[in-house]
Every structure is written in structure tokens, then in C-alpha cells.
Amino acid sequence: MRVCVIGTGYVGLVTGACLAYIGHDVICVDNNEAKVKLMSSGQSPIHEPGLPEVMQSAIAKGKITFTTDIAAGVTHGEILFIAVGTPALPDGQSDTRYVEAVARSIGEHLHDGYRVIVNKSTVPIGSGDWVRMIVMDGMAAQGGSSKAEFDVVSNPEFLREGVAVFDTFNPDRIVLGSSSDRALKLMQELYTNIINREFAEDKTLSPVPVVVTDINSAEMIKYAANAFLAVKISFINEVANVCDRVGADVVEVGRGIGLDSRIGQKFLQAGIGWGGSCFGKDVSALIHTADDYGYNTELLNACVKVNQQQRVLVVEKLQQVLKILKGKTIGLLGLTFKPDTDDMRDAPSITLIDQLSRLGAKVKAYDPIVSQSGMRDGFSNVIVETDAERLADGCDALILVTDWKQFKSLDYAKMVPLMANPVIIDARNFLDRASLETAGFKYVGMGR
């Protein structure tokens, strides 16, 4: 099928590359010429495992091209994905101006034929009708010459950064929201190979469930899913804080309650809280939507508050061990909001850097991605080191911020004599406490 993806951030680029990889003819549109040139050469502008290989395979087969020409993309595609960013505004609303600009531009270049316009961006509930209105405004700008028809579909993404390619080929479900049988049929045809698990790691599984619903419900599914996961993390962090006070171990508690099939093991790892571009933005958007309709989401408000407090709690634990932080040197193991990504959006490390600097501490950091990239020169109030031993040198304490798997195998015994004070705050409960204490560290976990 002929596909156009407008916007090549995490969602757009992964979606476009994977659809091309499975055989569709894809044009990806972005207004950044340098980025288009980079992608056309087979290089990914983002760090996402497996993505460069998928891109290069699709390019070699002639299945994907990159352009700044939105008219060419709209003319090419029978299915048009809107995959631009919807960042949070200061009041918690989603900034939909990029979606609006794309929808209007699509309308201005729709001349004939039938198109399915797909909201892949996470948009406020009710945006399906709004996008339809904007597209029609764009068509009207043609002076009534357009003979095109279109339907709008909500097809929210559930990709996890760091495993986005895997998630595309192995989804838990595909959600399609529309009132048009014609559009829904085309969308299911588009995803046939993925639904049938032809590119899945485990091809013995049953077909991927397809949730067919109305647009508003599809949009709500995306927000509700992320809000639920955020609440689950905030819940286990609340439990961890009680565990600290009563002498229980939240790792054991999480393991015990997670064996209940109604609860499950995932997202029960206590620590520094959630970050990234999705949870905070989507929870805030849902809170704001509810407020627009006269409902106060007390549980979601509490979820956000707990998450904010959790980041400050790490600094409090440091103060309990070191007392005064002014004049101390603190090293952060990890900067990105999660492992296997270069994404710094709403990363807990940013809060820690700000808080520690405010308290007069000198902050150093080492991150497997950031330390090796040009990003390391763009940070203020932090010295980004090139390896873990340089990080440890002269530190009064280390804080494990991001659970990169390579941090499990660092030679911590070598780091102890380099430090002024061998303390480690394991803000993810990720490291092996016994081996660290054997190496000579004072270990402090979260809820342990």
C-alpha cells in the first residue's frame, strides 16, 4: 500500500521505517532538510536499537524515501499518518498547533481520490472531528476545486523507547477508531502482516488483537493506558516510602504482590519515578481534559505529586548520609530518562542536577550515550565524564539514575579507592547490594 508519514520523530520514523520494511511504499515527510538528508543516507537521527538496520533495508529495497515536500507525500499516500509532536503546554494542555498545521496542509493538497488520514500523534480526546474540520478548511482554500474524499482514523501508538522496533512488530494490540468501515478495512489491510505475526519473534502466538472502536474511545485508550502505568509506578513508590519507615524491602513486596495475576510484575519497580515525553504529558492532558468537563481527577493529581516528590526524596537520602551537600561532589550514573535511548525529555537527572546545584554541590555524570555524543557539551551545572572511573574520581557519593544494563557489570571495586566517600544511592533498586557492600560501598536503596 502507498503510505505517507508526516513527522519523523520517534513515532513517525519508526512507523514509517517498519511499514516500509514489511513491504509498503512509504514516503516520510519532515520540514527539516538536514534531517531528511541524514535519513536518506540510512542514518537515524535518534538512538533506537534496530532502527538503522530497518531503515537501510527498506531503502535498499526502494520501499522508503524521505522528503520535505508534503504535496508529494499527500499525492503518493492512500493512507496519511499525522505523526508530529504534541508537547505539553505550561498549563498541562497538549500543544496541537503542529497537528493543526499538518492537517491544514493535507487539505490544501488533497485534489482527488480517497484518503485515510490517521492520527498517530497523541491528541486530545475529540481531535478526530477537529482534524476533519481543519482538513476541510484546507480543501476549501482550493476554491472548491478538490474532488477528494477522506476519513479520519485514530490509531494511537504504544511504542516504548529503546524497544520501539520490537513493539511495532510485536504489539500487544492495535487500536483503530473510526466510524468508517471503508477506512477500517484499509487500516486492517495495512497491518495484515503484523496482525498475523509474520515479522514477530514468536510466530506461534495468536493473531494480534485489533480493537475496533469509535474515535473518542481510541483516543481515550491511549491516555488511560499511560495514566494507569504512571499510577502503578507512583503506587509502588508510595509503598517503598512506607517500607523505608517500617523496615520492609519493597523489592520483595513488589515480587510478592506481582505474582497475583490481577496485578502482574511489570511497573512494580520502585525508584526515582517516571520521566520521558509520554507519562507526564499524557497524565497532564487527561487531568486537563477532565477539568474542562468539570471533573477533578484526584487520583491522577496524587500520582503526579508522588512522582515529583520521589525525585526530591533521592536528594533527601543523600543528605541523610552526607549531611551538608555544599562543597560535596556528586556523580550521576546515567542521564537519559531510561536506558537504550538518548531522550532527555523530563529525565529525573535534570531535576537532580538542579536540586544538587541549588544546594551547592558539584555535579558530574556519566551516561553511555550522552557521554559519547555531542550532547555532552550542552549541559549546564554538570560535568559529563567519558567513563565511570573518571566519574567516581573525587566523588562523595554516586547516584544510579538510569538503569543501563552495562552499569551492572562496572568494576565498582576499582571505583571505591577513587572516591572521597564511597556511598551509592541506587535510585532504581537495580544494582546488587551484596557485591557493592563487599566492594566497600555504603549502599542506599529505595524502600529497602
What is the sign of the dihedral through the CA atoms of 85, 172, 251 and 411? negative
DSSP conformation class of 342: -
Contact 82, 115 (CB under 8 A): no
Q: Which residue has the cell 496485578?
A: 263
Distance CA 394, CA 36 (A): 44
Q: Where are any strands of DSSP class E within 131-225?
A: 149-154, 174-177, 210-213
Distance CA 213, CA 155 (A): 10
> And the C-alpha cell for 250?
519493597
Q: How many helices (H) and strands (E) does the chain have?
A: 17, 14
Q: How many C-beta atoms lie closer than 10 Å to residue 350's C-beta? A: 18
Distance CA 92, CA 448 (A): 34
Q: Is 177 helix (H, G, I), strand (E, B) or coil?
A: strand
Contact 191, 212 (CB under 8 A): no
Sorted by sequence, the CB contacts under 8 Å of residue 447 that are 6+ apart come out as 237, 239, 240, 241, 242, 243, 244, 248, 249, 250, 251, 253, 270, 429
Sorted by sequence, the CB contacts under 8 Å of residue 40 that are 6+ apart come out as 59, 65, 66
Distance CA 384, CA 371 (A): 6
| List 28, 278, 303, 395, catalytic entry | 278
Q: Is 395 a catalytic residue?
A: no
Binding residues for NAD(+): 30, 35, 86, 122, 161, 281, 345
Binding residues for substrate: 158-161, 222, 267-271, 275, 338
Binding residues: 30, 35, 86, 122, 158-161, 222, 267-271, 275, 281, 338, 345
CA nearest 12: which of 84, 101, 119, 86?
Answer: 84
Please give the C-alpha separations between residue 314 and each of 98, 400, 429, in angstroms, as whole numbers. 37, 10, 12
Contact 84, 121 (CB under 8 A): yes
Distance CA 170, CA 438 (A): 41
Catalytic sites, residue numbers? 278
